[in-house]
Amino acid sequence: MITAEQSSLQSEELDIIKRTRSEVMSRKELTGENLFFAWGYPTAIVLLLEFTALMFWNEDWCAWLWVGIPLIGGPLMTYFLNEDYERTHRRTLEQNVVLMMWVFIGFASCLGGTTMGFADVFDKCYCMYQGLLIGLGCFMTGIILHFRPKTVCGIIASALSPVALFFQGDLWPWQLIIAAAIAVIALIIPGHLFRNYVKKQRNNRNGECI
């Protein structure tokens, strides 16, 4: 017969196994499913607004509307990161690498845009420069997280970036349309696909824990 003490020990062992399994699964759990939206939608919307402003007014200040992208995307990214951390209380090495990579890409984009603006070459190559950065970031994110749709979208976005160079002179505002399309391809579309993938994975793991 099983004594009360043995029963208590077995119960404790089962609790330890359940906790350990839960912790392992939480470490493997993907997060950050909303981060691409934090940059994708502000980038596409601000660039379209900048295009519209240039078409209507064609003033120098219109070309600086892109500054709104980091001013909106930065706080949104911080909000989503805090939301994820409050839920999981940890980040994996892969998630930290992806986060640092996109922080650097955002810094490089802002620095490049500011430098090109003061050097009076913004209208010649910034959209291609930004498109290549975003495409590279999307490609590397897909590689790190083993999510093929992001990798494919990153390749498509990078291949589309040089098209912006064909719009020069009076046609340069149309580069903004190319850049907005790149944001949709590299950030918004894979962002939705990744969010659905993460939610499905999370639901499956919750079902396994029950």
Whether 25 is covered by a domain: the verdict is no
For residue 26, the model assigns a pLDDT of 45
Whether 18 is covered by a domain: the verdict is no
Is residue 14 pLDDT above 70, yes or no?
no
Whether 160 is covered by a domain: the verdict is yes
Percent share of the chain, pLDDT over 70: 77
Whether 168 is covered by a domain: the verdict is yes
Whether 13 is covered by a domain: the verdict is no
CA-to-CA dists, residue 71 to 32, 38, 39, 207, angstroms: 20, 11, 10, 39
For residue 30, the model assigns a pLDDT of 57
Whether 137 is covered by a domain: the verdict is yes
Is residue 27 pLDDT above 50, yes or no?
no
Number of domain units in the chain: 1
Per-residue pLDDT reduced to its tens digit, 37-91: 888 898 899 989 988 888 888 776 777 787 888 888 888 887 877 777 676 666 6
**Across the chain, what does the average pLDDT equal?**
78
Query: Can you give the residue range of the structural domain that contains 98?
Result: 31-209
Whether 62 is covered by a domain: the verdict is yes
Is residue 155 pLDDT above 90, yes or no?
yes
